[in-house]
Chains A and B, each alone.
Chain A
Amino acid sequence: MIKVEDVYFAYPNGVEALKGVSLEIQDSEFVAIMGQNGAGKTTLVKHISGLLRPSRGRVSVDDTETTKMSVATLARKVGFVFQNPDHQLFSETVEEEISFGLRNFGFEEKTIKERVDWALNLLDLTEYRGVSPFMLSGGERKRVALASVLAWDPKVVILDEPTIGQDSQQKERLRQFITQLNRQEKTVIIVTHDIEFVAECRPRVVLMAHGKILAEGEAAKILTDPELVSQASVVLPEIAQIFLKLADLGFPKEVIDVYEAGRLLLERFGEST
């Protein structure tokens, strides 16, 4: 369980990135931290993985405060996949890249080999085992970075803007992958401003603006509230926009899924004939 208690944080240059944030994330939850660029989303998750220490307040993972552990120790539990895989990749082969974290955490050679095989398989990278990561395409490099983090089987996985530059098929694969991770009882936290992606995944949404949490709850509730959405400087999902405009005709407002929208409309059309 992750507990963020009244956290304040200011960067060395004086910018106050977090102004009193409190949040609880249970095991196996799927949470999306949303807001516009600069709202404090990445700053918040960096606290959870121990890369940043709060100026005020506490962050604890499984009842231990993050300030009482080194980043490396905490990383064993909280895997962080950075937005740009090129900030992590450096090895001669994909295989070595994936073993990097495992070696750092002191796994035995035999276990390392097993886990590398497992990670390669999980992310469809087996054919690239001996290839240099720099020779791979952007999407493939993202998978290598993800594999290298999942390899050591962290309990919590944080994905920072995983959908940037991805086409819709890649996003669909990502969505399915996250579902799989949840089923394996991993806690998944994504930082994103991709409204449509969140509308399809329907995680618990934590909406941030100006260093504070504006609201949190079900995706369908949060993302269809025009007030909140405007305060956070994000946009309504397309389907929600349509239903907002149809609100005067008595349609429900908290609709973000195409199929649900279609069914509701068909019902209404059926009624009027």
Chain B
Amino acid sequence: MAIIEAKGLTYTYPVGARPAFEDVTIEIEKGEFVLLTGPSGCGKTTLCRCFNGLIPHFYGGKLEGGITVAGLNVADNPIYELAQHVGMVFQNPENQLFALSVEKDIAFGLENLGVPREEIREKVDWALKTTGIDDLRDRPPYELSGGQQQRVAIASVLAMQPEIIVFDEPTSFLDPLGAKQIFAVIHNLNRNLGITVILVEHRLDLTAKYANRVVIMEKGRVVLDDEPQKALSSEEARLIGVGIPKATRLYKYLKANGISLSKIPLGSEEAHQAIREVLAA
């Protein structure tokens, strides 16, 4: 069974005139790395809040259709139950840290769950190591850079050991280097820990190469759901106006002018190798 199953999902905010998204049917298998993208206002941020129950429980509104996550029906289960299976990392690092030391922040979720102290200690240490921030353990959040804060947020979610983690534009406030670091951490969680990742992002050039699937939304509907190479080189993606990686755009330009590269590149490494092949031939 898929770890996330949504059928005909439609949601309207309490003060909304029109649905934020309509008729979304999607299945996500365990271990996938799904890149969810689309122009501003397409509904992607709203959709990902359905995965851990913020919609409908925190936001209210009208949720039609059905969605199950890790075997639990979202509408029927409280957020604190769903949160143990689906972690969520938000855009603004500052507003996800509320304790006065990194350690305490990471322990927060486990404390809420009533986990015994020794176990909390173990999991906190593990989360610190896995995200590479062991040296920041005692620091207050105010002293940390945006990238460091975001890694603390990830560690705080990781400590609860959810099967799925949803990232909602986690690098919006970070510079490219900080963003690359975060994506490397996310890639590690997916590749080495088998965590199912759903990443909402605009920066496709930095992230497409990690995903095994790209879902593009527009005006509240899922319009494309395919492997990254196919989805991002499609005409549809170009018309919708998502940030197609430059390497892929180069591929399309060459193709339009008669030169076919052996594979569709998502990043500079693939692109330059494919170009070499053609030149060697």
Contacts and interface: CB of A to CB of B under 8 A. Distances in A.
Interface in B141-181: 145-146, 169, 172-178, 180
A163 B272 CA distance: 28
Nearest to A193: B175
Contacts of A164: 172-173
B246 A167 contact: no
A37 B245 contact: no
Highest count of chain A CB atoms <10 Å: which of B91, B242, B247: B247
Interface in A242-265: 242, 245-246, 249, 258-259, 261-262, 265
B61 interface: no
Given A168-B242, A258-B249, A262-B253, 14 more contacts: A37-B145, A37-B175, A137-B41, A169-B39, A172-B241, A234-B176, A238-B205, A238-B267, A242-B272, A259-B253, A261-B250, A262-B254, A269-B259, A269-B278
B77 interface: no
Nearest to B246: A238
Chain B contact patch, size range: 35 or more
A268 interface: yes
A238 B250 CA distance: 10
A15 B253 CA distance: 48
A195 interface: yes
B144 to A, nearest CB: 12
A237 B268 CA distance: 10
Interface of A: 36-38, 137-139, 164-170, 172, 193-196, 233-235, 237-239, 241-242, 245-246, 249, 258-259, 261-262, 265-266, 268-269, 272
Interface of B: 38-41, 91, 145-146, 169, 172-178, 180, 202, 205, 241-247, 249-250, 253-254, 257, 259, 267-269, 271-272, 275-276, 278-279
Given A170-B40, A193-B175, A165 B169 contact: yes
A241 B268 contact: yes
A266 B257 CA distance: 8
Contacts of A262: 250, 253-254, 257
A217 to B, nearest CB: 20
6 contacts: A38-B145, A168-B39, A168-B202, A168-B244, A194-B176, A265-B259
B177 A235 contact: yes
Most buried by A among B242, B254, B275: B275
B40 A196 contact: no
Contact of A168 (B169, B176, B241, B279): B241
Contacts of B177: 36, 233-235
Nearest to B245: A238
Contacts of A196: 205, 246
Contacts of A233: 175, 177
Nearest to A234: B176
A176 B250 CA distance: 22
B172 A165 contact: yes
Contact of B271 (A138, A170, A172, A242): A242
A167 B242 contact: yes
A259 B241 CA distance: 18
Given A242-B247, A262-B254, A167 B39 contact: yes
A141 to B, nearest CB: 12
Contacts of B243: 167-168
B275 A246 contact: yes
